[in-house]
Structure 1
Amino acid sequence: MKEQTLSQGTPKGISKFSDPLVVTLVASLCCLLWASAFPTIKLGYIAFGIMPEDTASKFVFAGYRFILAGLLLLILFSLTGKGKPKLTGRQLAGLSGLGLAQTGLQYMFFYVGISHTTGVKGSIMNATATFFSVVLAHFLYKNDKLSKNKIIGCLLGFVGVIIVNFQSNLLELSFSFKGEGFIIVAAFIFSITAIYAKRLTATIDVLIVTGASLFTGGLLLILLGLLLGGSVTHFTLASTGYLAYLVILSSAAFCLWNMLLKYNKVGKVSVYNFLIPVFGALLSALLLGETVMELKNLAALLLVSIGIYLVNRVSAR
């Protein structure tokens, strides 16, 4: 799942990041990294010995990831030579609130939900964030109303989400509120908080917004997990590797995506979002041995991907 929403980008000068081939390769890489979080989190649970019912330890695991990712981005900002950021009390409060909600609250639901569903279903369910954002934007922005393509895209996406929650015979529902339901709740929280994140990036460097949000939310997750009796102690080469990879993907994917948005129109880049559920399902099948080659899964992937494409295609025009 994406950790932050970026501000609206416009072309700024000539760069290799504006080359069509580079855009395709880098955007696809970002989507691949974000999608790989689904199976990697589940593998991390196994490596650290975190049982499905141990919610507190899941929070600690998530907290480690986001605190380290946040620190990495803040260090990166300091290396850019922009100096120490001057933030007002109101801006600091806004960053703290964003971190508590977008990183803390969202990932409370996400980390619990992903442990109670498959990586294939989780990656598809998480795609609802795109459609929630489209509907919310209709009511909040005068220049971002629902169009015919957006409505069709949202309908196709939600149909895909419904299909993936049926059994293989397409006659019985297979839906758990603590699993698939929590993934949807996390997607909805992200959609709401992303709007506020976009507002903050208008006056604060996007690295600061993201780094501070990840760090603050990660701190909340660790404190809550420890208070509930959770712990993450089985640090082996494998478990540490999974954690390190999650930290790096959260930071690297964001920075690469930001560079694309700096030199390209948003619609040109965001159209690649449809790759996330596709990559997520394929990687879950490859790394976790889950079944993806079922008619319902393939149909859901196709509908969700087309839906996201149609929604973003409007912006590209």
Structure 2
Amino acid sequence: MKKGLLYAIIASVLWAIVTPFIKQGLSYDFTPMNFAGIRFTLVGIILFAYTWHKGMWREIKQNSRLFLNLILINMFLGYTAFYIGVDFVSGAISSIIMGMTPLINVLLAHLIARNDKLNIYKTCSLLVSLIGLFLIIGMGSDGKPLDTKGIAGVVLLLLNIILQGYSAISVSEDKGKVNPIFLNAVQMFFGGLLIYIVGVSVEGFHPFIGKPAGFYISLGVLVFISVFAFSFWFMALQDAKSKVSDLNMCRLINPILGAVLSWIMLADEYPTFSTVTGMLIIVSSLIIYFKGETLVKRIKNKGTQT
């Protein structure tokens, strides 16, 4: 297995368990931007303690375009949309919609990245995944179409995917310029601080001292995931042998694991025909993506040998 692909799989497994813990943390009378801001600022502090080095401010200045991209687009806009979107829909639907990440990023890579274009199998994967998405939107998590709030949540989650996909391509295009863990530290601290400041201004201040133990457990798990998941993801993106589109396909782990954990952990959530079917349809696009190309390569190799 390519090293980049292995890092992407580890990051995807960690990200798959995020949604239930976000839903759990928000259930303790907390607002999305306040919660996200605290989480990411803490992650940034931890990573800065590990990556602090002489000349780092000069390094940030030299790569200011990349860092501003990650702080403003990936963290502030992307995660604000993500947290509000998660708050608007069920945990299972959030996880399944986020399963669209690799497929939307395949399309973005085709439009933006160099040497990472669509082929017939990637196109079929996108079309199949859209069928699964429309099934979920049309049937919701309780057999009924999503209401206006639910549709807004889906739109915000899709916006998050597009914004983070653009940032991922930017990191990939600048392979090797910045240590990936330091890259994560800067985006988490400054992006988290910006989210928190804006969150307090918009949502009001929500005290985080004296909360039940469940709140701190959820926050602790999310901090742990952020410390490692993004660091592994940036390592994957900076691997010279890996394409952005291939790495993003690993994130189809998210809809299965994330939805199952939501059904297990969250009391008011349970599997329905529409969510399970939509999830299976979206995941089947992964098989089309990888198996289609593998099959063609085998046929070509046999033709060359004969």
> Shorter-normalised TM-score: what interval?
0.7 to 0.9
Residue 248 (structure 1) aligned to one of 203, 219, 224: 224
Residue in 2 that maps onto 1:46: 27
Deviations 1:237-265 (A, max 9, x none): 22122111111111123345566788895
Q: Aligned pair count?
A: 288
Q: Percent identity?
A: 22
Residue in 2 that maps onto 1:111: 83
CA distance in 1, matches of 2:96, 2:172: 24
Residue in 1 that maps onto 2:92: 120
CA distance in 1, matches of 2:120, 2:225: 35
Deviations 1:192-236 (A, max 9, x none): 222223234431111122211111210111110122223233533
Residue 89 (structure 1) aligned to one of 61, 73, 87: 61
Taking a change above 3 Å as real, the CA distance of residues 314 and 63 of structure 1, as seen in their structure-2 partners, is farther
3-state SS of paired residue (2:145): coil
Taking a change above 3 Å as real, the CA distance of residues 314 and 92 of structure 1, as seen in their structure-2 partners, is farther
For 1:242, the aligned partner's letter is S
**Alignment RMSD:** 3.2
- TM superposition shift of 1:73: 2.3
Choose between structure 1 and 2: higher helix proportion. 2
TM-score normalised per structure 1: 0.78
| Counterparts of residues 199-278 of structure 1 (less than 5 Å) | 199-228=173-202, 229-233=204-208, 234-256=210-232, 266=242, 271-278=249-256
Whether the 8 Å contact between 2:103 and 2:248 is mirrored in structure 1 is no
* 2:168 paired with 1:190: no
- 184-193 or 254-263: bigger deviation: 254-263
Residue in 2 that maps onto 1:5: none
- TM superposition shift of 1:74: 2.7
Taking a change above 3 Å as real, the CA distance of residues 159 and 232 of structure 1, as seen in their structure-2 partners, is farther
For 1:95, the aligned partner's letter is F
Taking a change above 3 Å as real, the CA distance of residues 191 and 169 of structure 1, as seen in their structure-2 partners, is closer
3-state SS of paired residue (1:71): helix
Whether the 8 Å contact between 1:270 and 1:312 is mirrored in structure 2 is no
Taking a change above 3 Å as real, the CA distance of residues 293 and 236 of structure 1, as seen in their structure-2 partners, is closer
TM-score normalised per structure 2: 0.81
For 2:21, the aligned partner's letter is T
* 2:280 paired with 1:299: no
- 114-123 or 224-233: bigger deviation: 224-233
Which blocks of at least 5 consecutive residues in structure 1 are unaligned? Answer: 1-8, 13-17, 51-56
CA distance in 1, matches of 2:171, 2:8: 21
- TM superposition shift of 1:31: 3.1
Taking a change above 3 Å as real, the CA distance of residues 153 and 72 of structure 1, as seen in their structure-2 partners, is same
- TM superposition shift of 1:96: 2.8
3-state SS of paired residue (1:165): helix
Residue 153 (structure 1) aligned to one of 122, 125, 138: 125
- 61-70 or 261-270: bigger deviation: 261-270
* 2:136 paired with 1:164: yes
Deviations 1:151-191 (A, max 9, x none): 11111111111111122799963253332221111112111
For 1:251, the aligned partner's letter is V
Taking a change above 3 Å as real, the CA distance of residues 27 and 11 of structure 1, as seen in their structure-2 partners, is closer
Which blocks of at least 5 consecutive residues in structure 2 are unaligned? Answer: 298-306
CA distance in 2, matches of 1:276, 1:169: 17
Deviations 1:86-136 (A, max 9, x none): 416341343133212101111111111111100111111112222221112
* 2:14 paired with 1:33: yes
Residue in 2 that maps onto 1:4: none
3-state SS of paired residue (1:143): coil
- TM superposition shift of 1:139: 2.0
